[in-house]
Structure formats: C-alpha cells, structure tokens
Chains A and B, each alone.
Chain A
Amino acid sequence: MSGVIGDLDTRAHWEGVAEHKLLVQRCSDCGRYRWQPRALCYACQSWNFTWEEMSGRATVYTWTVAHRAMPTFAEDVPFLLVMVQLAEQDDLMMIGRLPGVDPETLRGGEAVTVEFVELHGVTVPSWRLAEAG
C-alpha cells in the first residue's frame, strides 16, 4: 500500500494518484489548467479552482537515461526518465518512468498513456507507449 505524500497544496493530487487517477487543477475563472499544483492561477491570479481527472494521454517531449541515482534507486540504474506533455494543454509537463522501452528507439513525440505503478513503496504516475490505432 502506498503512502500518500505531498503538502497542503498538493495532497488532493496524491490522493488521486493513490486511487489511480491523474488529477490536475483547473482555474474556475479563466479555465486554464496548471501544473504543478498551486493555490492560485498563474494566468489570472484567481484562488478558485477544481481538480479534474486528465485523460492520461500525453506525448514524449524529451528524456534522459539515469546512470547514477540516489541510494533508493541505485538498483534501478540505468533507467529511462521521460518528460511528457499532457494532451490537455501545452505546458502541462510531467516527469516519470517509461519502463520496458529501449531509449535508442525514442525519437520524441511518441504517444503515451499514464499507468500507475508502485516505485520503491510509493505509487506514482508512470507512462507506457499508447496502443497503436
């Protein structure tokens, strides 16, 4: 069972992750999504927002392969980290793993979908290549 992490601004996101939902804030006044979670909207400074469940669809923007890591993750080395752009808005950028994919095959722009996995005791949003077609 995962521990829910996060602070007072982000707790709802992590509670969603624990339920395998990708929750992102949307401003109630201007409609802008924002990531990472904040108390106010960066576009219009409104304090009113809702949490929306994302489609989970994204595209690969960039990546790296970690050859060194903190002690907790040492056994995972080398591992592929991707930065993906959520489909809902062009500045929703998230970092996560893309397991089972050979980094040499990446070209950028690959369609991915979110998959919730447990990494060293913490449930996190992770990514997999989207089904073709």
Chain B
Amino acid sequence: MRNAAAIVGVGYTPYSKESGVTTMTLAARAILAALDDAGLTVADVDGLAAFSISDSTSPMMMPRVLGMPDLTYFLHQFGGGSVSHSVVAEASMAVASGAAEVVVCYRALNDRSGVRFGQQRPNMPDPEAQFLVPHGCFSPAQQFAMAARAHMLRFGTTSEQLGAIPVTQRANAVLNERAVMREPITIEDYLSSPMIADPLHRLDCCLETDGGCAVVVTTPERARSLRQLPVLVRGAVWGPGHNRFCAGWEDLTETGVKYSAPRLWRTAGVGPEEIDVAEIYDAFSFGALVQLEDYGFCAKGEGGPFVASGAIARDGSLPVNTHGGLLSEGYIHGLNHVCEAVVQLRGDAGERQVAGAELALSTGESGLLGAHTSALVLERGAR
C-alpha cells in the first residue's frame, strides 16, 4: 500500500471556543474548503469518512447536506484521537482498491460550546467505568497523570522537562493564525499554572475546541492532474491497546506503540531518524513524551531530557507539533495533525516551515490511557 494514495486538499474552519454554527455547518465548511484547496467540487467526491466519539455529523447525512449525487464509499468510525489517522488510512485503502476515487475525511465538532467532551459520560456502555467512577476517578487527565507519575518514579522525569512540551508548542502556535492560544508562555508560567491531576497542570491538557478540518484523499494518478503538490501516504499503522488497566499489562510507562512502531517503520521503509517533522498526538503533554520514546526518537525513559534539550523546537533535530498541537492550536481530535503534516510537506507552512521537510510522522492516540492508536508516515510527492 506504500504511496498508493495521496492527500491533495486540506481545509479548515476557524477554531474557537464558540463557533456560532452547528456541527453540520462546520463539517460542510471544512469539506468544501478542502475540496476548494484541491481544485475539486462535490461532484468529484465519491467517498466520505469521519470519526467521532462525541459531537459529529455522520457521513451518512452529509451527502444530503452537500448535494453529493452518489457515494460509493463511506465510513463513520467510532473513536477519538485513536482513530484520527486510521480513518485516513481507511480512505487510502478505499482509493487504492478502486472502491472510490476521491474520499474526503473530516472531523467537525462543537466540543467547547456544545457537549463538552472533557466532562461528558461515554456514549456506549463502558464496562470499566464501574471500577473508576465510584472512586472519583474517570477523567483522562487523572489516568494520564498516574502514568506520568509512574514515569517520574521509574526514570526520574521531572515537571520542568515535561513542561518543555507545552512551552515549545505554544511558541509554534504564536506563528499559527489558526491557533486558539497564541500568547507565549514560559516554563515558569507552566509550573505555576493550576494543577488538574498531579503532576499534570492545566497547560499539560489539550483544549476543547469548536471547529472542523478535512483532507481529500485520492489516487496518485488523479493527484497528478490537480493543483496542489501531492502528499503521499507512505505508511499507516493501527496500534494495539489495553483499555486502561486491564489484564496482561501493568507497565504504564509503555504504550501499544511499542508494537505498532516497528510495523510502521517497516511498511513505510524508513526509520525515525529520517523523519523531518513529527505531529504527535498531544491530548496530554505526557502522552506526546512517551510516544516520542515508543516511536524510537529517543530511548525508553529518555523522553524528559529529549524534550527539554530543544530537540523538539522548530529549529531542533525533530520539530514536534509545529502548529501548536492539540495543546495550543485546537482539539480537532487529531485530524488537525494530519493537516499540519501535509502543509509542512508541501512547503506551505510559512513562518512555521521546517526547511526541506520531505517525510513526516503524524500520530493519533486515545484519550483513554494506553488504548489503541493509529499513525501515518507522509511523504512529499512530486509534480
């Protein structure tokens, strides 16, 4: 499947705390913006793919809203960040197999002004909630905090090191006109920010955002006739998880990425040392730190010194979350990471541009501790 699909359009709505429109309207705006970027119209689209764990408007409804005459492929994947990248992989498989030719993947939600994801109850029966809620434990922040503490105990990771992630990403967001949070922050601001679940501060936790984004996936052959430099899907991976603290997995300092990363590098035919820019799912700063270890950018346990070294800054050896990430750009459940990776590889990132970016890693992680993941390796194409 390597390079059998190309991303040829990206589109966005504004990201804000109150969109003032319905989720349906946000989805329509994002989809049409992505098509416009690609130089395509609704008449060209034969597939729609979306994912949601909360607020959304389904791909089964959007064709009627948009006036799409026919749909040969659709996918509505349950999940949040964990499936943000697998949905693009599914669309890639659809075009590579010939099931569709132009698939728009989108995510649109009023996560801040509408049903606030950070506070809501699960939509589906959750057999594990009964072992958490009665103790007052249910929020993802509390669970990621326990993993962060375990990492600190085992490896000596410090809050000062962890804080390098939100501080660095905020500096990137300052240059991103789409970002919701654009005021620079210092490590002192970070350390003095309110504690949510020790050791995680508010600035370790992602935003809740109203907004939408979309990408257009097609075949490399079709991409050649379109206006944008294509970005090829070089590799994709679905990663295992263990549903919080379930049997058979007791080490919270590791994630399922330890299984999926070797698979990703093998299928993509590249290694972490060849990645020029990395958009790493950051619902929590700690989640990004441990992914940097598990994807092989630094040794296990070295995530703290690695992020504190300056390596993840725009001028570092591995720029991370060049748009500010979910912590500072906005929380579109990870599809906005794919958009940023595409823009970087096109060379269209302006002041945020990583010079000479040819290969990007973009990842999705679950908001549930240790649960499944998905990721993409994207490659700058040719005219």
Contact = CB atoms under 8 A, between A and B. Distances in A.
B137 interface: yes
Contact of B127 (A10, A69, A81, A108): A10
Chain A interface residue bracket vs B: 35 or more
B54 to A, nearest CB: 17
Residue of B130, B131, B198, B200 most packed against chain A (CB within 10 A): B131
Contacts of B352: none
A93 B153 contact: no
A90 B150 CA distance: 15
Q: Would you call the interface of chain A mostly helix, strand, loop, or mixed?
A: mixed
A55 to B, nearest CB: 18
Nearest to A14: B130
A93 B243 CA distance: 12
Contacts of B135: 81, 95-97, 119, 124, 126
A34 interface: yes
A72 B135 CA distance: 10
Nearest to B145: A64
B351 interface: no
B149 A64 contact: yes
B246 interface: yes
Contacts of A81: 135-137, 142, 146
A46 interface: no
B198 A65 contact: yes
Contacts of B198: 64-65, 67, 103
B128 interface: yes
Contacts of B250: 61, 85, 90-91, 93
Given A70-B133, A81-B137, 19 more contacts: A7-B125, A7-B130, A9-B127, A36-B246, A42-B246, A63-B146, A64-B146, A66-B142, A67-B195, A69-B136, A70-B136, A70-B138, A72-B136, A79-B136, A81-B142, A92-B247, A93-B245, A95-B135, A119-B134
